Every structure is written in structure tokens, then in C-alpha cells.
Amino acid sequence: MKIAHRELLTLAARSLPGRIALACVLACTLLNMSMATAQSLKLDAPSPLHQGNNQALIDSFVGDHYYYFYAEPGKFHIAWTFSGAQEGFDVGGKPSFAAVFNPKTAGSQITHKDGPTGAVYEGSVTQRTRVLVGVSPVNSKLVRQTTPYIIVVTGNVSFGNASAGPDPIVGTYAQKLIFSGEPALGAVRFLANGKILSSNGGTGTWAAFDAESGIYTVTIGGHRMTLTLQRGRALVDTANKQTVFELQR
């Protein structure tokens, strides 16, 4: 598990498991944060969870995912489940999950129970309290493993406004599929205004085709593609699932 700051080492050492270390990172680092609306790889800018299934792929070559929601007075329930490797290799081990109050308020309580394919958190608060959630991939830096997971939050809860910010596609990517006969684009920025800029000077455009399904039309380097956004990971070819652009931290 990642320990983001030196002061977390002592706290993490008290508990040992990766899940606890992740919880220490969440609890100790995020007292003052900005909001984000796309799925986030940034500890200081988590994404809002939404009602129902929050599905994603976590990639050992990309990094952690961070979310938040609000616990309202009363009880809440978090169910996190994961399944087998979807892309790359199954190197063994399990991804990790943690949820902490951010910040903890008077009367707030949370417990958890780990299972073979996930974890369940139960909690209660007496006043509106922000809850921060983190998912870490399997520790595999030399061999890629991607793991599908689902987060479901129920009970007395409310969610952030995911429609208030930029489209989830906005971000900086690395080109993973090189177009035949053309130079590499290098780093590629998808901007909020529908434009694309690449570090080799190339330009292009993007547009949402089916926002609910995460399908986009992308034109760059003389190529027009239909890509599906795997939030917090990559843009993949909608037809063959090959990674075209990989999200950078």
C-alpha cells in the first residue's frame, strides 16, 4: 500500500494490514480538500459517489481511486466487492478498500467486516459528516493487473453534485496505441472545451456520444475513433477494448 506522507508511517505501523495503512492515509491527509467530479486519482480531490452501483476498474499501473459521500444523521452502509483480473495477469493478492470520516464528528461511529471478495462498512452519525473512500490496486508494479470493483452506499446518505464540474473524460493521458505510419502523440490533454492537445503539437476534438455509458467520439491525428472511458484508468477502443490512452496521475 502507498504511504503518501512521512507522518503516516508511524500510524500505519500500528495496524500493519494494507487496508489500515490506506485508512491512515485517508484520515490523516484530507482535512482540507477541493472537490472533483470525475473519478479521481488524486488524494486531495476525490470524486463524488452516486446512488446505486459505482463501478470501475483499478489498475496496478495507474494507482489509487478516491471518492466521498455525506453521511446524514442516522445509519449508513457501504458494500465494496471486487472480482477477478479483467486485463493483464492475475498475480494474486487483493485490492484494498478503506472508508473514514473526513473529518470525524462527535458521535460518529464506523465498523467494518472483510470478506474474500470485498468488505462491508456500517456506520452512524449524529450530524452531517463527510466520508472519504479509497481503493488501492493489487501491488504489482512489474506485471499489470486490472481489477473490477463495485461500491454501493445506502442508508441516510447524500451525494456530491457530479454534474457541476468538467466531463469525466477531462484529464491528461499517455498514448498507448501508436497509429500506423504516424509519430507518437506523447502526452495528450483532453480539455473541458472539447479540444485535444498533444505534446507533439497535434490537436483534435472530443464529444460525448453516450455520456451515461461513457462512450465518446475522438478525432486526432487524422483518426476518428469511438472510445469508452474506464473512469480513473483509460480510454479504450469501444469495439475491441484495447487501451488507446491511459490516464496519468
Report yes or no on 3 lying in a domain: no
d(CA 194, CA 232): 19
B/e letters for 105-131, b = 16+ CB within 10 Å, e = fewer, are eeebebebeeeeebbebebbbeeebbb
Does residue 192 share a domain with residue 124? Answer: no
Domain extent for 83: 8-158
107-142 pLDDT, tens digit per residue, is 999 999 999 999 999 999 999 999 999 999 998 878
Hunting for cell 504511504 — which residue is that?
3
Domain boundary among 158, 186, 206: 158
Does residue 154 share a domain with residue 175? Answer: no
181-216 pLDDT, tens digit per residue, is 788 898 999 999 999 999 999 899 999 998 778 899
Report yes or no on 178 lying in a domain: yes
Does residue 95 share a domain with residue 60? Answer: yes
Report yes or no on 207 lying in a domain: yes
CA 15 to chain centre: 24
Does residue 141 share a domain with residue 39? Answer: yes
Q: 242: domain CATH number?
A: 2.40.128
Hunting for cell 461511529 — which residue is that?
109
Measured at the CA of 227, the angle between CA 221 and CA 228, to 5 degrees, comes to 155
Burial bucket for residue 227 (CB in 10 Å: 0-12, 13-18, 19+): buried
pTM over the 0.75 mark: no
Does residue 125 share a domain with residue 47? Answer: yes
pLDDT lower than 50: segments of the chain: 1-17, 20, 29-39
In total, how many domains does the chain have?
2
Does residue 199 share a domain with residue 145? Answer: no
Report yes or no on 163 lying in a domain: no
Domain boundary among 105, 126, 158: 158
